[in-house]
Amino acid sequence: MQSLHISTSALRSIQYALDTTGNNLANLDTVGYKRRNASFSELLFDSMNEQPYNDRENRTTPPGLRIGSGVRLGETRLDMSQGNMKATDVPTDLMIEGEGFFLVRRMDNPDEYVFTRNGAFQLMQNTSGTYSLVNASGDKLVGEDGFEVELDIDPSDTISISPDGRIMVNGAEEDPRIPVWHIPNPGQYRQIGDNEYVLTLPDGVNDPSLVMGFLNYENPEYPPAQENLRIGSKIRQGALEMSNVNLQEEMAKLVTVQRAYQLNARAVAISEQMMGIANSLRSR
């Protein structure tokens, strides 16, 4: 019975790992996508220490015999490493070189702000006649002042964005700048889909500026966040950051996961056969 429980728990966990790998492969060409790695943790185990002294005398392994109960999926860790660059020469396509996120305001919930690495923005005209930078979901890019970036321009104007986020329209600088936001603890953001992340504040913290700051330039308006600044991240105009999924690595992992699934499925079948044999025994 123990082998049956171990194999079934492993099958359930391996299925989650298989789904994670499949999701990575499905987003191979998704702009700004960050791959996930599935890791496993051991369930409760018993230790049998009733062994002869001469058996423990010269052994190099821990004393006792560990009898496990199987494994479970511990976590799917987000890999925030830099993806490959794809040059597009589109003025509104932006790529972050280094750490950090863009901040956008949700179209379906204007009170919600989310982070993203997807810099495929487009110009959208507002009712006031100004233009905003929006992504494919309609979420609007937010500037350093916490408000949406609105440009009073003509679509035919020349837009250039410097590495530190300054917006130039026909050579004249516009306000505000485009910041690259830094969240020091990866555990503080939660993925919600569409390559967007929600910031989860620690207990007792109500001000987001206490846990995030600008990466590409210093902003004196946020003094609590100055200790989190890491000057060096830049914005590249006319380029996009592609997925950081490695096809060869994911395919190798897919084969390994499939073989592990087959092994545990075979173990379940053998356990069932052993139980059938035990049930068919007759006393003589």
- Same domain for 114 and 176, yes or no, is yes
- Same domain for 101 and 31, yes or no, is no
- Same domain for 227 and 110, yes or no, is yes
By residue range, what is the domain housing residue 140? 85-241
Average pLDDT over residues 258-271: 87
In 3-state terms, what secondary structure has residue 174? strand
- Same domain for 195 and 139, yes or no, is yes
- Same domain for 237 and 263, yes or no, is no
Q: In a 10 Å sphere around its CB, with 0-12 CB exposed, 13-18 middle and 19+ buried, how is residue 105 labelled?
A: buried
Do the Cβ atoms of 235 and 163 come closer than 8 Å?
Answer: yes
Give the per-residue pLDDT at 120.
93
Structure tokens at 151: 């440009």
Q: Rounded CA gap, 59 and 26, in Å?
A: 48
Give the per-residue pLDDT at 171.
86
- Same domain for 161 and 222, yes or no, is yes
pLDDT band, very low/low/confident/very high, at 239 (cuts 50, 70, 90): very high
Do the Cβ atoms of 55 and 63 come closer than 8 Å?
Answer: no
Q: Give the residue carrying structure tokens 């492993």.
A: 10
* Nearest partner of 40 among 265, 269, 260, 271, judged by Cα: 260
What DSSP state is assigned to residue 268?
Answer: H
Percentage of the chain exceeding pLDDT 70:
77
Q: Looking at this protein, which amino acid is placed at residue 238?
A: G
- Which range (45-54, 91-100, 237-246) has the least confidence? 45-54
Number of domains in the chain: 2
Cα distances (angstroms) measured from residue 24 to each of 2, 17, 215, 251, 276: 33, 11, 28, 10, 41
- Same domain for 257 and 227, yes or no, is no
In 3-state terms, what secondary structure has residue 87? strand
Write phi, then psi, for 109 (nearest 5 degrees): -145, 90
Q: Rounded CA gap, 174 and 162, in Å?
A: 12
Give the number of residues written for the chain.
284
In 3-state terms, what secondary structure has residue 116? strand
- Same domain for 229 and 95, yes or no, is yes
Answer yes or no: is pLDDT of 236 > 90: yes
Give the per-residue pLDDT at 168.
92
- Same domain for 141 and 6, yes or no, is no
Give the per-residue pLDDT at 131.
92
Strand partners, 39: 75
101-139 pLDDT, tens digit per residue, is 898 988 888 778 888 999 999 999 998 889 999 998 889
- Same domain for 89 and 220, yes or no, is yes
149-167 pLDDT, tens digit per residue, is 999 888 788 999 999 889 9
- Same domain for 110 and 222, yes or no, is yes
- Same domain for 235 and 112, yes or no, is yes
Give the per-residue pLDDT at 255.
92
